[in-house]
């Protein structure tokens, strides 16, 4: 609970530098401190060093994809804590269900804008 | 658009729908009327204004008024009123009404998101007494908006503002790049075109009226008229819900605010006595 006073951190995981940059700008505007990772493996290393409050997570990435990362994260010590918002071009209901079953709290279908990120982070209880 | 054109559109919107449009907001007029002028095969907005002056054709007048009446809508917009409805109003009314239907009216429903949000709440409600019936009505001044509402088909953008992903999966089907509410939810809502400044007594009784983000578009005398005519449709324990930043107490004595619940109103019994 003591964390709620501090600035919340969000790890943005996406293999596109442009998407990371856009997401960073939007999330910084709503008060998050941002870290970036380009794939699931990098994201896992980040989480082992410092567990973020939130993770904005792409699905299709090289090295390790988002869903594999999420399953590994949830098995880590303290890995159940971050609120994970998926953010992917996958829009089939079955795929979305798969992400939720793996432990995602919310799901954004790309393309997104500031309003969508704001609304989805509110749904995930992050703002 | 000449100042005379602007004057014409502003006057029509006021006379027909009670709308208050700031003549200085030319961008608003242009963004609403430009697409309409194209649809109606005019070379531009000024040509449409000229046709209106020459013919005064009802169909075109209404198309203009409807275009100017459009507001922003969204699923579970502002969240709090829907949480209040789900957690407090619906269980209380279910107890009070017994088997009698609970009638809920989204009176300026736009493209239907508010009415469908209420329908999803009614569908998912747990712990209500057996036999509880919830009837949901959606109305709007715009025929075009109602057509969209009735279709229940929304873009990927529209379903991502305010709608939790689990609700999307539970109550929508994917249709190509869009999302359509399931027949189960669509069948829960009845639609009707209603101009709020007309005689509303034909609407019958309602237990809860969602009247959100529409009074703020209206001119002062019409705000009062709308509030007083919706008050007459509510039983003594009925409830009115206004939009964020909208109030009733500054406009009429017909309602009393519910303490600690911004935007939630009950009928003022004293006002009823005065009217009788």
The pLDDT of residue B269 is above 80:
yes
Of the candidates A106, A97, A99, the one whose C-alpha atom is nearest the C-alpha of residue A60 is A99
Q: What is the pLDDT of residues B31-60, one digit of tens each?
A: 999 999 999 999 999 999 999 999 989 999
Q: How far apart are CA A6 and CA A80, in angstroms?
A: 20
Mean pLDDT, chain A, as a whole number?
94
| HEC letters along B83-111 | HHHHHHHHHHHHHHHCCCCEEEEECCCCC
Strands (DSSP E) contained in B159-219 are: 172-175, 178-181, 189-193, 208-211
Q: How far apart are CA B52 and CA B60, in angstroms?
A: 7
pLDDT band per the 50, 70, 90 thresholds, residue B276: very low
Q: How far apart are CA A59 and CA A95, in angstroms?
A: 10
Q: How far apart are CA B143 and CA B161, in angstroms?
A: 24
Please give chain A's pLDDT, 127 residues, in tens: 444 557 899 999 999 999 999 999 999 999 999 999 999 999 999 999 999 999 999 999 999 999 999 999 999 999 999 999 999 999 999 999 999 999 999 999 999 999 999 999 999 999 8
pTM of this structure: 0.93
Of the candidates B25, B17, B27, the one whose C-alpha atom is nearest the C-alpha of residue B70 is B17
pLDDT for A2 equals: 45
Q: Which residues contact B41 (CB under 8 A, 6 or more apart)?
A: none
Q: What is the mean pLDDT of residues B250-262?
A: 94
Q: How far apart are CA A49 and CA A42, in angstroms?
A: 11
Distance from the Cα of A13 to chain B's closest Cα (Å) equals 20
Cβ–Cβ contact A120 with B under 8 A: yes
The CATH number fitting domain B80-275, selected from 3.40.50.150, 3.40.1010.10, 3.40.50.300, 3.40.50.720: 3.40.50.150
Helix or strand holding residue A83 (H, E): strand A83-88
Test B169 with A96 for CB contact under 8 angstroms: yes
Q: How far apart are CA B121 and CA A124, in angstroms?
A: 19
Q: What is the pLDDT of residues A50-60, one digit of tens each?
A: 999 999 999 99
Cβ–Cβ contact A102 with B under 8 A: no
Q: Which CATH architecture describes the domain B3-68? A: Orthogonal Bundle (1.10)
Q: What is the pLDDT of residues A93-112, one digit of tens each?
A: 999 999 999 999 999 999 99
ipTM field: 0.92
Test B165 with A119 for CB contact under 8 angstroms: no
| HEC letters along B11-34 | HHHHHHHCECCCCCCHHHHHHHHH
Distance from the Cα of A49 to chain B's closest Cα (Å) equals 30
pLDDT for B270 equals: 85
pLDDT for B198 equals: 96
Question: For residue B247, what are its two tokens?
Answer: 């109030």
Each domain of chain B, given as residue ranges in start order, spans: 3-68, 80-275
The pLDDT of residue B120 is above 80:
yes
Q: How many beta carbons lie within 10 A of that of residue B251, not counting itself?
A: 18
């Amino acid at each position: 609970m003591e964390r709620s006073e501090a600035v919340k951190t969000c790890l943005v995981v996406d293999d596109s530098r442009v998407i990371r940059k856009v997401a960073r700008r939007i999330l910084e505007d709503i008060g998050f401190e941002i870290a970036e990772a380009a794939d699931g493996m990098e994201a896992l290393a980040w989480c082992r060093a410092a567990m973020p409050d939130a993770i904005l997570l792409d699905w299709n990435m090289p090295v390790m994809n988002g869903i594999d990362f999420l399953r590994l994260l949830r098995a880590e010590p303290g890995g159940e804590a971050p609120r994970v918002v998926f953010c992917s071009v996958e829009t089939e209901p079955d795929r979305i269900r798969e992400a939720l079953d793996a432990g995602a709290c919310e799901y954004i279908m790309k393309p997104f804008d500031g309003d969508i990120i704001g609304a989805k982070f509110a749904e995930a209880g992050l703002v | 658009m000449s100042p005379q054109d602007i004057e014409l559109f502003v006057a029509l919107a006021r006379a027909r729908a009670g709308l208050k449009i700031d003549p200085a907001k030319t961008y608003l007029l242009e963004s609403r009327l430009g697409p309409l002028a194209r649809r109606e095969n005019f070379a531009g907005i000024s040509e449409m204004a000229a046709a209106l002056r020459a013919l005064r054709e009802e169909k075109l007048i209404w198309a203009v008024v409807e275009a100017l009446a459009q507001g922003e809508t969204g699923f579970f917009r502002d969240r709090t009123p829907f949480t209040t409805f789900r957690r407090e109003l619906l269980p209380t009314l279910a107890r009070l009404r017994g088997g009698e239907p609970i009638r809920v009216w989204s009176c300026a429903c736009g493209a239907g998101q508010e009415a469908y949000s209420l329908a999803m709440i009614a569908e998912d409600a747990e712990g209500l007494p057996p036999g509880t019936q919830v009837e949901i009505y959606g109305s709007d001044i715009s025929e075009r908006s109602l057509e969209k509402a009735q279709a229940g088909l929304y873009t990927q953008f529209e379903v991502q503002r305010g709608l939790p992903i689990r609700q999307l999966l539970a109550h929508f089907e994917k249709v190509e790049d869009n999302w359509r509410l399931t027949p189960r939810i669509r069948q829960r809502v009845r639609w009707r075109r209603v101009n709020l400044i007309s005689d509303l007594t034909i609407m019958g009784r309602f237990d809860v009226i969602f009247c959100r983000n529409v009074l703020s578009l209206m001119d002062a005398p019409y705000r009062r008229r709308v509030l007083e005519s919706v008050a007459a449709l509510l039983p003594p324990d009925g409830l009115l819900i206004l939009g964020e930043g909208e109030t009733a107490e500054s406009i009429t004595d017909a309602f009393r605010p519910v303490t600690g619940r911004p935007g939630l109103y009950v009928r003022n019994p004293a006002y009823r006595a005065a009217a009788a």
